[in-house]
Amino acid sequence: MADTTDHSSPLFETYARADLAFERGSGVWLETRDGRRYMDFGGGIAVNCLGHAHPHLVETLKAQAEKLWHVSNLYEIPDQRRMAERLTAATFADRAFFANSGAEAVECAIKTARRYHYVNGAPERYRILTFEGAFHGRTLATIAAGGQKKYLEGYGPKVDGFDQLPFGDHDALREAAAGPEVAAILIEPIQGEGGIRSVPPMCLTGLRELCDTLGILLIYDEVQTGVGRTGKFFAYQHSGAAPDILASAKGIGGGFPLGVCLATEAAASGMTPGSHGTTYGGSPLAMAVGNAVLDVVLEEGFLDHVRDMSLQMKQSLASLSDRYPDVIEAVRGEGLLIGLKAKVPNVELVAQMRENGLLAVPAGDNVVRLLPPLNVTADEVRQAMDRIETAVSALSLGNRRKSA
């Protein structure tokens, strides 16, 4: 692939960006400055859960922007309490801490787990067990938690306290979890960056039982899977195996930077005044938008729609996989977090989709992620499937031979 980096730009050269600049968006559609239109099935990497310029979010943001943006957590922020009450009422949790991003939410989850053991007389319990292929963020602690060499390289010694285990190795997990320094297990119910690899519900149930037996905490990273993305409000609800702590972000702000760490009363017992904080997290502006997202996602019937659109997409994609097995090996995922395990390089498939007016996102294990708005319509799904089929067909060996 050609180097498209603009070396004349004053920006850090940390991104290999596509040569696209968008001017405006509406629902599933994005439009470039020169008028080209694309169906956005990347969603800002699972962030724009209600698409672009959703009317309720726009009006809420405008109204709040004219009143109050930021005051800091030195003062009461009523919409923080309201959003926390709504999140805890809809989940396992009793407590919520608001941040600005997924990495911050995961950092809070890690600190909450360690503080729990500290205040309960076991300060030696600080190690967190994680899994190969995971992605937990880009801070020094969260890249250590993820353990991927490509993110760790060049940043000095790896932050101590994280032990990666093979994905799906139950014996290794049981042995490691029994260690006297283990504080918690941190896992994504579905690995997003790792290639839409799902943890079976029975395995999450087993993790819950293991943590209870050993007196350690279970942490879910639902930064990408939360807020309706999998057809449930949070992905853990498919299994019923509730965590002690959960980190979420991305879709919870509908495009506005927002993260949250949820926890049970017991798990949050160490998070006393002064033990953790944030300057921007939970601002009036963020809370207004976050509550507006919940107005839509928690509305009766909304998650039914997500599951219906998921079924429509998966049926179409399964047919595509049957007809073009040289391009698509398998269809993965839950709800509208869908992965295409590709036979061709995933970046080539993403590029071909883009050529046909549809945006998608590459992931690990040679997977292409499809992350449409949760309110995508059946007609929009049909249009998207037509564009994806055109892209897949163009990469199929049979069609390449015909055109040779």
The tally of CA atoms less than 13 A away on the side-chain side of residue 335 is: 33
Q: Which of 221, 233, 234, 343 is catalytic?
A: 221
Q: Tokens representing 177?
A: 């979890």
3-state DSSP assignment of residue 79: helix
Measured in degrees and rounded to the nearest 5, phi and psi for residue 140 equal -60, -40
Strand stretches in 6-52, DSSP E:
22-26, 29-32, 37-40
The whole-angstrom separation of Cα 330 and Cα 363 is 14
Q: Which of 92, 97, 135, 233 is catalytic?
A: 135
DSSP-derived pairing of the beta strands 190-191 and 197-198: antiparallel
Mind giving me the DSSP string for 89-113? HTSS-SEEEEESSHHHHHHHHHHHH
Q: Give the relative orientation of helices 284-297 and 302-323 as an angle to the nearest 10 degrees.
A: 70
Amino acid (1-letter code) at residue 121: G
Element (H or E) spanning 162, and its range? strand 162-165
Q: Which of 111, 232, 250, 343 is catalytic?
A: 250
Helices (H), 122-200: 140-146, 149-152, 170-177
User: Has 162 been annotated as catalytic?
Assistant: no
3-state DSSP assignment of residue 404: coil
Helices (H), 191-335: 201-214, 284-297, 302-323
Element (H or E) spanning 218, and its range? strand 217-221
Tell me which DSSP letter residue 21 carries. Answer: -
User: Has 341 been annotated as catalytic?
Assistant: no
Q: How many helices and strands, by DSSP H and E, does the chain display?
A: 13, 17
Dihedral class, residue 368 (left if φ above 0, else alpha if ψ from -120 to 50, else beta): beta
User: Has 131 been annotated as catalytic?
Assistant: no
The tally of CA atoms less than 13 A away on the side-chain side of residue 102 is: 25
The whole-angstrom separation of Cα 391 and Cα 341 is 15
Q: Which residues are catalytic?
A: 135, 221, 250
